[in-house]
Structure 1
Amino acid sequence: MPNANEATSALSQVQDRAVSELLRVAPVADDLARRFQEAGFSLALVGGSVRDALLGRLGNDLDFTTDARPQDVLKIMRPWADAVWDVGIAFGTVGAQKEARVGDTDRSFQIEVTTYRSEAYDRTSRKPEVSYGDSIEEDLVRRDFTVNAMAVALPEKRFIDPHGGLKDLAERVLRTPGTPEESFSDDPLRMMRAARFAAQLDFQVAPEVVAAMKDMAGRIEIVSAERIRDELNKLILSPHPRKGLSLLVDTGIASYVLPELPALHLERDEHHRHKDVYEHTLIVLEQAMALEGDGPDLTLRLAALLHDIGKPRTRRFEKDGRVSFHHHEVVGAKMAKKRLTALKYPNDLVKDVSRLVELHLRFHGYGTGEWTDSAVRRYVRDAGPLLSRLHKLTRSDCTTRNRRKAAALSRAYDQLEERIAQLQEKEELDSIRPDLDGNQIMEILGIKPGPEVGKAYKHLLELRLENGPMEHDEAVKALKEWWAAQQG
């Protein structure tokens, strides 16, 4: 824990950052606040916006709270904003977009104004029951964590911090305004939010909060799959996902929302003949993140997280003392599809992640020998548009501490990528097709559309993969020879 001087210095630094950030958005925030004031209402910047301002990372998304009811908010916002939407009005939230000039640049602000409220779940409902409050203090006590329970009243810029959020922010710790049990009873999803903020902000979670998460883990079942998915995405896409995932596993929450992850804690046999699959998975996730390049990639990160989930179901102790996980990639792909579907992920993402899980061992199946043209074509064809991600996932899956072995695997994959590039120059690997299309097949064989056309197409595709492109006459000859054999 920091000493008194360090704490005072940290508080001073976050306050300085906040002043700088709030001055940056002042033209928009103050203008809106004056309109609420003229209508007889109060307005305050609140929650994540204040927290991010104090951290020096306030963006163009601004959250406000007010004593005005939603219909009054709409009346104030519509003449002022460039666009207004009320999809969240049932929860007391009105959204808006406002274009404004800040300094020398034009900015587009995404704004949400929410009426003072309190909300709680009952034990049979998946949706919060919303009731409106009459004071900002009443609103703040219902917030999830103290670092999100601060506000700045506008336009006077009066700082409101009844629960010591500024101190907790300086100490980088997550606590709840009231008791954790009350907070998590109000909305059990807050238990996942604790893990998400730990991962996003690299904060520690207070011991009493962790204890409540362990005691109340089962309450997460009342939350809808969609809300859990959205929170999980934010966690996985954060800078420190290991921190959040470990907290979910340690508190037992992962056993309800992503049970395949804690299941990777396989019991080690007495001779330790296989590595810790859970720890290996978290390392693979971090190594995949290091290869992303253009920002967080949800598909790649999910594939890294789920790539070995088939191992618990396929583990076998062989007679020679080895431990095997035969076909765990096939089993894992099916498990990934089932879990992601249950969490309501989009079909395309489910398909891509499952395919990456299925293919993540393909490279090792070829051994360390020279890659043939045929093997390269099939590897590229099977990966399709996921080839770049498969490269990253396969490289990330090497977590051996044996430097010579790791270097050999890296060189082998370098060679594969070189072979792909070489063949790419000669052939269109990204769109491998037979040398004759369906219409040509029907014309040459004198047949109508039907199963035979598909079989012929598949045969020519196999020839293309095995031997590379053929001249037209050569392809026609091969087709006729195949057809004659079918007739015989």
Structure 2
Amino acid sequence: MPSEKFYTEALENPIFKLIGEAAGQEGIQAYVIGGYVRDFFLKRGQKKDIDVVALGSGIRLAKAVAAKLPEKPKVTVFRNFGTAMLKHGDLQLEFVGARKESYNRDSRKPVVEDGSLEDDQNRRDFTINALALSLQGDSFGKLSDPFGGLADLERKCIRTPLEPSKTYSDDPLRMIRAIRFAAQLQFEIEKASLEAISGQRNRLKIVSNERITEELHKILLTNQPSVGLELLHRTGLLNLIIPELIALKGIEEIEGQRHKDNFWHTLEVVDNISRATDDLWLRWAALLHDIGKAPTKRFDKKAGWTFHGHEYVGSKMVYKLFKRLKLPLNEKLKYVQKLVMMSSRPIVLANDYVTDSAVRRLIFDAGEAIEDLMTLCEADITTKNPKKQKKYLRNFKLVREKIKEVEQRDHIRNFQPPVSGEEIMKAFKLKPSREIGIIKDAIKEAILDGEIPNEREPALRFMLKKGMEIGLTPAAEATKEKK
């Protein structure tokens, strides 16, 4: 039976009274439903997206609400979905008519018809999202909770309103949403529901990759992404979404030599980096930093297990993965590829004597991503040995100090050549040719090697010297200028 309790404190914002008044004038019953109500009971702060379900036309109600607001906001109508949206201050209100849905097996797009409040609650994904508060005068703030969603909030349980296999088969995206809510809210998925996800996992194939990645992003942005990633793995969904990660799973042993399980190591790295940054794409880099290890794994009798070139192979795999999942093929892709490609570079420096030259090259290659690269490498420390962990962190601290020292002195980050191509052409009376590139590269290498400082005058002298070494004759004025 629905709860008879009233929660008017959830509806203190004057907008709710106004919606109720507009609904009464239009002869419509209206309810706030979904995330706003759920988050009120969870005390998660006031949600800015508010869903209003109307027993009647949601579009008509939205227009009536807009007419009563002093700023007369624009109403955006989506007739195909029977919904309308408007903004009021920092709130975004979405209005929809109550409906019931039926699904064709080959699509997650439902056949929709008008329905009752109960029908609308039946179609919700989880009991905790089916909670509704009345906006009608005498029943204002009354909770409708036909599936025990409030009790599920108290039990910290993710459960479907109807039979879970049907819920997930109808809209397979709900399987990832269940896992996302479990990860975000630190809830448990009901046993029958979790088993249904495993049973229905192949239905995920009818969901677009764009919708899947939206949910993946939300899982990656949780406080502890491994919770969601582990559930994706346990239910078999991860193998359908990112099989490259599943390929890292397992430990092999040959002649008494073993390697670590790189799948569980990766999940630890993602959790580690999540304590240091909220940057989504840095978290993606952590998730993918070792994907090249599966195809490059080899056993050498002398060296043991090796993963030679896994960073290069992994960076190439990142492109294919981004393309498949419909992730942005722009600067975000290049950023993640760069971090995967360079993920071992600071580790090498931390293990050896750090030369200025090596640090200059690291700064030059990483550019603006140098701090993020160091954060990734520190997150990559998953040893359970306290002494080793302390040693590795101390070494990375030394590398960071060296980076700061070298950068302050040599200004390598976002390196710009001290001598331009036009100046080289003028100095040797050249037309565009490969010799210009040879000299520019030689200047850059000389600076990175510490042969000359990153300053204009030493670079100009080096330019003349290099040009003559490759058989060019400097113009008389250039020689005179440098004497």
Q: CA deviation at 1:71?
A: 3.8
Q: Give the letter aligned to residue 272 of structure 2.
A: Q
Indicate yes or no: 2:272 matched with 1:287: yes
List per-residue Cα deviations over 1:24-76 (Å, max 9, x = no partner).
Answer: 43x11221221122111121110111111110113222121112335424432
Indicate yes or no: 2:291 matched with 1:309: yes
Q: 1:203 to 1:290 in 2, by over 3 A?
A: same
List per-residue Cα deviations over 1:377-424 (Å, max 9, x = no partner).
Answer: 111111112112111100010111222222221111111111111223
Indicate the residue corresponding to 2:372 in structure 1. Answer: 389
Q: Distance in 2 between matches of 1:317 and 1:87?
A: 61
Q: Secondary structure at the match of 2:258?
A: coil
Q: Distance in 2 between matches of 1:464 and 1:19?
A: 69
Asked if the contact 2:273/2:376 (under 8 Å) is kept, the reply is yes
Asked if the contact 1:43/1:66 (under 8 Å) is kept, the reply is yes
Asked if the contact 1:444/1:476 (under 8 Å) is kept, the reply is no
* Unaligned residue ranges in structure 2 (runs of 5+): 473-483
Indicate the residue corresponding to 1:132 in structure 2. Answer: 113
Q: Distance in 2 between matches of 1:36 and 1:272?
A: 72
Q: Distance in 2 between matches of 1:263 and 1:470?
A: 45
Q: Distance in 1 between matches of 2:292 and 2:204?
A: 25
Asked if the contact 2:350/2:392 (under 8 Å) is kept, the reply is no
Asked if the contact 2:58/2:96 (under 8 Å) is kept, the reply is yes
Alignment partner of 2:352 out of 349, 369, 373: 369
Alignment partner of 1:33 out of 16, 20, 26: 20
Q: Distance in 1 between matches of 2:338 and 2:350?
A: 21
Q: Secondary structure at the match of 2:302?
A: coil
Indicate yes or no: 2:308 matched with 1:326: yes
Indicate yes or no: 2:20 matched with 1:60: no
Alignment partner of 1:72 out of 60, 68, 80: 60
Q: Secondary structure at the match of 1:354?
A: helix
Deviates more, 1:132-141 or 1:267-276: 267-276
Q: 1:165 to 1:327 in 2, by over 3 A?
A: same
Indicate the residue corresponding to 2:480 in structure 1. Answer: none
Indicate yes or no: 2:340 matched with 1:353: no
Q: Distance in 1 between matches of 2:200 and 2:231?
A: 14
Q: Distance in 2 between matches of 1:85 and 1:378?
A: 55
Q: Give the letter aligned to residue 129 of structure 1.
A: P
Alignment partner of 1:92 out of 75, 82, 88: 82
Structure possessing the higher radius of gyration over alpha carbons: 2
Q: 1:182 to 1:443 in 2, by over 3 A?
A: same
Q: 1:471 to 1:367 in 2, by over 3 A?
A: closer
Q: Give the letter aligned to residue 333 of structure 1.
A: S
Indicate the residue corresponding to 1:431 in structure 2. Answer: 414
Alignment partner of 1:417 out of 400, 417, 424: 400
Q: Secondary structure at the match of 1:388?
A: helix
Q: Distance in 1 between matches of 2:55 and 2:109?
A: 20
Q: Secondary structure at the match of 1:192?
A: helix
Q: CA deviation at 1:151?
A: 0.5
Q: 1:118 to 1:233 in 2, by over 3 A?
A: farther
Q: Distance in 1 between matches of 2:402 and 2:349?
A: 14
Q: Give the letter aligned to residue 268 of structure 1.
A: E
In angstroms, what is the RMSD of aligned CA positions? 2.3
Q: 1:432 to 1:128 in 2, by over 3 A?
A: same
Deviates more, 1:382-391 or 1:196-205: 382-391
Q: Distance in 2 between matches of 1:157 and 1:19?
A: 4
Asked if the contact 2:257/2:304 (under 8 Å) is kept, the reply is no
Deviates more, 1:299-308 or 1:370-379: 370-379
List per-residue Cα deviations over 1:104-144 (Å, max 9, x = no partner).
Answer: xxxx212222222344553444x513513321110010110
**Percent identity, aligned pairs only?**
36
Q: 1:77 to 1:28 in 2, by over 3 A?
A: closer
List per-residue Cα deviations over 1:435-463 (Å, max 9, x = no partner).
Answer: 20222222222223344433332222222
Indicate yes or no: 2:31 matched with 1:44: yes
Q: Give the letter aligned to residue 444 of structure 1.
A: A
> Taking structure 2 as the reference length, what is the TM-score of the superposition?
0.90
Asked if the contact 1:314/1:326 (under 8 Å) is kept, the reply is yes
Q: Give the letter aligned to residue 340 of structure 2.
A: V
Q: 1:60 to 1:473 in 2, by over 3 A?
A: closer
Indicate yes or no: 2:260 matched with 1:275: yes
* Unaligned residue ranges in structure 1 (runs of 5+): 1-10, 100-107
Alignment partner of 1:206 out of 151, 172, 190: 190
Q: Secondary structure at the match of 2:318?
A: helix
Deviates more, 1:428-437 or 1:391-400: 428-437
Asked if the contact 1:93/1:115 (under 8 Å) is kept, the reply is yes
Q: 1:425 to 1:283 in 2, by over 3 A?
A: same
Q: Distance in 2 between matches of 1:460 and 1:227?
A: 48
Q: Secondary structure at the match of 2:351?
A: coil
What is the aligned length? 461
Q: CA deviation at 1:244?
A: 1.1
Asked if the contact 2:252/2:259 (under 8 Å) is kept, the reply is yes
Q: Secondary structure at the match of 2:124?
A: coil
List per-residue Cα deviations over 1:194-236 (Å, max 9, x = no partner).
Answer: 1100110001001111111111111101001110110111111
List per-residue Cα deviations over 1:251-288 (Å, max 9, x = no partner).
Answer: 11111111122222124326462112111111111111
Indicate the residue corresponding to 1:6 in structure 2. Answer: none
Q: 1:275 to 1:348 in 2, by over 3 A?
A: same
Q: 1:179 to 1:322 in 2, by over 3 A?
A: same
Q: Give the letter aligned to residue 302 of structure 1.
A: W
Q: Distance in 2 between matches of 1:312 and 1:427?
A: 39
Asked if the contact 1:84/1:94 (under 8 Å) is kept, the reply is no
Q: Give the letter aligned to residue 32 of structure 2.
A: L
Q: Secondary structure at the match of 2:250?
A: coil
Q: Distance in 2 between matches of 1:177 and 1:302?
A: 33
Indicate yes or no: 2:176 matched with 1:188: no
Indicate the residue corresponding to 2:154 in structure 1. Answer: 170
Q: 1:82 to 1:109 in 2, by over 3 A?
A: farther
Q: 1:318 to 1:88 in 2, by over 3 A?
A: farther
Asked if the contact 1:120/1:187 (under 8 Å) is kept, the reply is no
